[in-house]
Structure 1
Amino acid sequence: MPESVDQQTTAPATDAGTRRAGLIYAVSAYVLWGFLPIYFIALAPTGAFEVVAWRIVFSLVFCAILLAITRRYRLFLALLKRPRIAFTMAAAGVLIYVNWQTYVYGTLSGQVVEASLGYFINPIVTVFLGVFFLREKLRPAQWAAVGISLVAVLVLAISAGSIPWIALTLAFSFGFYGYIKKRVGTTVDAVAGLSMETLWLLPVAVIQLLVVGATTGITFGTVSAVHTLLLIGTGVITAIPLLFFAAASRRLPLVVLGFIQYFAPIIQFLVGVLILNEAMSTARWVGFSLVWLALVILAVDAALGTRNGRRSIPELV
């Protein structure tokens, strides 16, 4: 009898502690992703191509250190020997490269608000991809959200005189990236996955550094010690949120993660508007408001339990 009483009193506390830790990990991950624009802007005068190249290199270095410390490098090497896993992660690497390059370019060219739009509409794109690739049937609320988001994109395109390609590229590259990551499931964890992706991208990074060196010139090690450390730190700020996210996903329900994921684009939007003073015309406010309305519809739909946790929440960049 005493043992059963102990189990009854400690189990809820343990469950509460697990959820509390999960919330801390999740909020930490998405807040870090939200403030990424400030970090990348601090890397000036380094251009987008050099930033992404160093991000690939130092992410791989940092992941290699983590694999060595945790003694999981044998598991990583075993995954490399599995062609299906290796080539799937190569495809993921291509998509995350497109995502990183577009995001850093958007940030350094003063388009943080549009970049945030990409991550606002990403859940809607994920729903959209589910129809075409997973043969999922949309409920009326999901169709409404997709339709409203399309109207929002049209409003933003007409008001700006051009298609918001940065937002759309981020949303679709990240959507397909999440789809590919879902295919490998739990076979590849966060560190092993990022290690494989950056390993595939290493030749791309080398080529970019050679091109930058032959044209505008490499800034690494030429500006200041702090600037050099910040460039090296791109590997850390890439991997740490991924590890936090992985820890959170093991402790929290998918619905909770679904709500917390909006922390990142909200922070990015506020950084763009309040800190970087990016212009927000009336038409732009209308477009963003329509996107937020679509997200509210999806959120209510998820809160009612109609999605049943069928779709995973992928990592941000």
Structure 2
Amino acid sequence: MLAHRVIWSLLFMVGILAVSKQLAPAWKEFISIFTQFRSAIGILLASSFISINWFIFIWAVNSDHVIEASLGYYINPLLNVLLGVLFLKESLTRWQIVSFSLAFVGVGILTMNYGAVPWAALSLGLSFALYGLFKKLVNAGALVGLTIETLLVTPIALLYLYWIHHQPGFSSAFSFTQLDTTVLLVVSGVATAVPLLLFAIGARRISLSLIGFLQYIAPTIMLLLGIFLFNEPFSRVQFLSFLLIWIGLILFTTSKTPAFQRIVSMRSRSKDGQNEKAC
């Protein structure tokens, strides 16, 4: 599934570049990226981590871990913050530290409830956060960047498909006899590329705080699908853990808005005034 997802994503991206007559500029940008060591390493690592992320997500969904997969994308924004502090020397406000602590406690409760570390969730969140970190090293447009990322791993995907199709007793799901599965494998490329492209386009048109809220739609849908469609167990302990994570994420997102800053500033001035009267 991962191999097909990579290959069909690349073909879809090349098709978009051809239709929009951007193949020549894309090739120039490709050459420019790989003539700079920093950009070349960045795009290679970004390609690796997004592939790891896709693989873990496919495994999680097919192994009845949809709720755990949704947890991974809930904690991803907080891992972005942690990586920003560690590698980009970004600073945290007091409220952001509180929100990160709440989410950390929520993940800790989930870990104790599982009896084991929720490695799929943490791997999904961390791999996507590292993908975003290394993307910052590459000065490439969304369209060209995604095309290059899929191009780099396509040879591995092709070699794997060639190898597995030559294994004794292997029966391929990609055939005219299983047309429904074949169509789904092809469409997986479109389903992979379109959301990433739309996100890149939308991020330029709306505020950062709104982007933060919108990022939680996908894991929320995954959580609801896991509970109500796939009937995965969802205990009170899990609800409490997710509640702490939700509160942390809402606090983290709203703490960056001007309205929240005004409220904090007003409360701070009010406390200063009360202290002066007491003196």
Rg larger in 1 or in 2? 2
Unaligned runs of 5+ in 1: 1-50, 308-317
Contact map agreement 1:59 1:239 (CA 8 A) in 2:
yes
Provide the residue aligned with 1:286 in structure 2.
240
Q: Structure 1: which amino acid aligns with 2:120?
A: I
Contact map agreement 1:80 1:86 (CA 8 A) in 2:
no
Where do residues 145-294 of structure 1 align in structure 2 (5 Å cutoff)? 145-184=99-138, 187-213=139-165, 214=167, 216-221=170-175, 223-294=177-248
Instruction: Tell me: CA distance 1:202–1:174, structure 2 relative to 1, closer, same or farther (3 Å).
Output: same
Distance 1:221 1:117 in 2: 35
Where do residues 128-147 of structure 1 align in structure 2 (5 Å cutoff)? 128-147=82-101
CA deviations over 1:118-149 (Å, ceiling 9, x no partner):
11011111111111011122111111122222
1:52 paired with 2:8, answer no
CA deviations over 1:50-108 (Å, ceiling 9, x no partner):
x1100000001111111111111112211221223343211110000010000010011
Where do residues 74-89 of structure 1 align in structure 2 (5 Å cutoff)? 74-82=24-32, 83=34, 84=36, 85-89=39-43
CA deviations over 1:161-192 (Å, ceiling 9, x no partner):
110011100111111111122232xx422221
Q: Structure 2: which amino acid aligns with 1:60?
A: L
Provide the residue aligned with 1:100 in structure 2.
54
User: TM-score with structure 2 length normalisation?
Assistant: 0.86
Indicate the SS of the match to 2:64.
coil
Distance 2:174 2:152 in 1: 22
1:64 paired with 2:14, answer yes
Provide the residue aligned with 1:310 in structure 2.
none
Distance 1:153 1:208 in 2: 35
Indicate the SS of the match to 2:173.
coil
Distance 2:52 2:24 in 1: 29
Distance 1:161 1:275 in 2: 25
Q: Structure 2: which amino acid aligns with 1:70?
A: S
Distance 1:259 1:148 in 2: 17
Q: Structure 2: which amino acid aligns with 1:301?
A: S
Instruction: Tell me: CA distance 1:301–1:158, structure 2 relative to 1, closer, same or farther (3 Å).
Output: same
Q: Structure 1: which amino acid aligns with 2:154?
A: L
Instruction: Tell me: CA distance 1:162–1:132, structure 2 relative to 1, closer, same or farther (3 Å).
Output: same
Q: Structure 2: which amino acid aligns with 1:176?
A: L
Distance 1:196 1:281 in 2: 42
Residue 306 of structure 1: how far off its partner (Å): 7.8
Q: Structure 1: which amino acid aligns with 2:250?
A: V
Residue 272 of structure 1: how far off its partner (Å): 0.7
Residue 222 of structure 1: how far off its partner (Å): 5.6
Unaligned runs of 5+ in 2: 262-279
Q: 157-166 vs 137-146, which deviates more?
A: 137-146
Q: Structure 2: which amino acid aligns with 1:228?
A: T
Provide the residue aligned with 1:32 in structure 2.
none
Q: 159-168 vs 279-288, which deviates more?
A: 279-288
Distance 2:253 2:54 in 1: 27
